[in-house]
Structure 1
Amino acid sequence: MLVLLPPSEGKAASGRGAPLKPQALSLPGLAEAREAVLTELVELCAGDEDKAREVLGLSQGLRGEVAKNVELRTAGTRPAGEIYTGVLYDALDPASLDPAAKRRAARSLLVFSGLWGAVRVTDRIPSYRCSMGVRLPGLGALGAYWRTPMASVLPEAAGGGLVLDLRSAAYAAAWKPKGEVAARTATVRVLHAPTRKVVSHFNKATKGRIVRSLLTAGTAPEDPASLVEALRDLGYVVEAQAPERAGTPWALDVLVDEVH
């Protein structure tokens, strides 16, 4: 099973570990694209701060994020699973997983990123600010930029098993499963049960809990149909819609009572 996650806008501070080693990151097929984004981002932030803030969509109060990006090559690092914070990652709480669940997380979780393309939760990275919605002056819109390298790397990473896609729209734009990979992919919406409306904050929390539940239970569904069964066994209320045509993902709705 491969689980595709969005990053979080909020991030923990860079660690005290060794500086970034790009060659040590997972998915080496993305290395050249990562280097190009990293180089332009560092140069942008080391130049005109106001321009950098405009490109990154940062307010005056977040000017420190620009300075942080300048130090990306020399800052300390920590595992990506510790860097990303926010509602989804609070609910997932990877640090508190038992050893077996942590091993499953290392194998199955893939976090998408405007800067790195995608990393595993064990990859050591510094804290940074660069969303997939950013348009760099040289490389252009990152969502579009990542499509070509992702198209050659992600199908191999997906292997032959289930792909559980929990990404937000901006990150989903960087890679859309196609063909037989799409046929074994499931996307998830979280809906308020009485109204069938998409929830906001609780959407992220529920997705984090779903991932934690699967990792903790050691459940390894091989396809979307068995995922639906596994989630129901874990206590989730799930409505599934099988694809109407070949080569498209399954759509799962998880129903919740909370809407916060």
Structure 2
Amino acid sequence: MIVLLPPSETKHPGGEGPALELDRLSCPDLNPVRSDLIDRLIELAGDRGASRAALGLSAAQDAEIDRNAALRTAPTLPAIRRYTGVLYDALDMASLRGAAAERAYSRLAVGSALFGLLRAGDPIPAYRLSAGSRLPGLPTLAARWRPALDPVLADLAERDLLVDLRSGSYAALGKVAGAVTVDVLAERADGTRAVVSHFNKAHKGRLARALASTRSEPVDAAGVAAVARRADMRVERRGEHLTVIVAA
């Protein structure tokens, strides 16, 4: 089983690892696109105004542009430790120990606008590029990534069950036929339901933690739902789609 997470806009700074080496990342078939996007971001960082426009930044966020300028020289962290925010707080990788941590590192992956697909231990620098960013002279990132990423994800899906927790814009970078997908709905006292916005990420983080650390090996959506229920989550299943129900 592979649990495919969205990235986060916010990232831990610094790192203990050496500078980025694409050959050390998983999915080497993605390296040509990775290298091209890295070079374009480094070049773009030389024009702060163009960088702000392309990346949706304000002048107060120019440190993000500096990160992009240093993509090939900055220290690295494992991908699962690089990303921060609500989902990653709920996942709480740092608290997993022993066999549970080993299982998490083998099962977790992250969809990335810059790297396409990362496994949990892949060493990466801090960067700024979102799925909705539009780099000068390029088509959309979805158009850039899909020819390379679709076959990589299809190959993974042939060998492992994929649980796709990515948001819509990141799911568009690479399609996964047959993946288990998940949404989160809040149920009001009268029984009506509404889409959860901000805390959607927290509940997906809880689910990711349960799936990453469980001793069981789910092979289908029913197995994923069973793991979620053992983690005290209320889940409904329709085919390969799961809905996590939370109190409004």
Q: In structure 2, list runs of 5 or more residues that go unmatched.
A: none
8 Å contact 1:144–1:174 — kept in the other structure?
yes
What are the equivalent positions in structure 2 for 1:1-260 lying under 5 Å apart? Answer: 1-46=1-46, 48-178=47-177, 182=178, 185-194=179-188, 195-242=192-239, 250-257=240-247, 259=248
Q: In structure 1, list runs of 5 or more residues that go unmatched.
A: 243-249
- Amino acid of the structure 1 residue aligned with 2:52: R
Query: Shift of residue 146 of structure 1?
Result: 0.5
> How many equivalent pairs are there?
245
Bigger Cα displacement from structure 2, 72-81 vs 10-19: 10-19
Query: Shift of residue 50 of structure 1?
Result: 0.5
- Amino acid of the structure 2 residue aligned with 1:227: V
Query: Shift of residue 86 of structure 1?
Result: 0.2
Query: Shift of residue 57 of structure 1?
Result: 0.6
- Amino acid of the structure 1 residue aligned with 2:56: G
State the alpha-carbon separation in 2 of the partners of residues 135 and 123 from structure 1.
25
Query: Shift of residue 232 of structure 1?
Result: 2.0
- Amino acid of the structure 1 residue aligned with 2:29: G
SS in 2 for 1:174: coil
SS in 1 for 2:45: helix
8 Å contact 1:146–1:174 — kept in the other structure?
yes
Deviations 1:40-96 (A, max 9, x none): 1111112x1101110011011101111111011000111111110000000001111
State the alpha-carbon separation in 2 of the partners of residues 230 and 70 from structure 1.
42
8 Å contact 2:225–2:235 — kept in the other structure?
yes
State the alpha-carbon separation in 1 of the partners of residues 28 and 71 from structure 2.
19
Question: Residue in 2 aligned with 1:246?
Answer: none
Deviations 1:2-24 (A, max 9, x none): 11110011111021321111111
With the length of structure 2 as denominator, give the TM-score of the two structures. Answer: 0.94
With the length of structure 1 as denominator, give the TM-score of the two structures. Answer: 0.90
8 Å contact 1:55–1:134 — kept in the other structure?
yes
8 Å contact 1:98–1:216 — kept in the other structure?
no
Moved over 4 A (4+): none
SS in 1 for 2:245: strand
Query: Shift of residue 216 of structure 1?
Result: 2.8
- Amino acid of the structure 2 residue aligned with 1:75: A
State the alpha-carbon separation in 2 of the partners of residues 70 and 96 from structure 1.
33
State the alpha-carbon separation in 2 of the partners of residues 139 and 25 from structure 1.
24
- Amino acid of the structure 2 residue aligned with 1:10: T
State the alpha-carbon separation in 1 of the partners of residues 151 and 213 from structure 2.
31
Query: Shift of residue 193 of structure 1?
Result: 2.0
SS in 1 for 2:114: coil
- Amino acid of the structure 2 residue aligned with 1:186: V
State the alpha-carbon separation in 2 of the partners of residues 146 and 241 from structure 1.
29
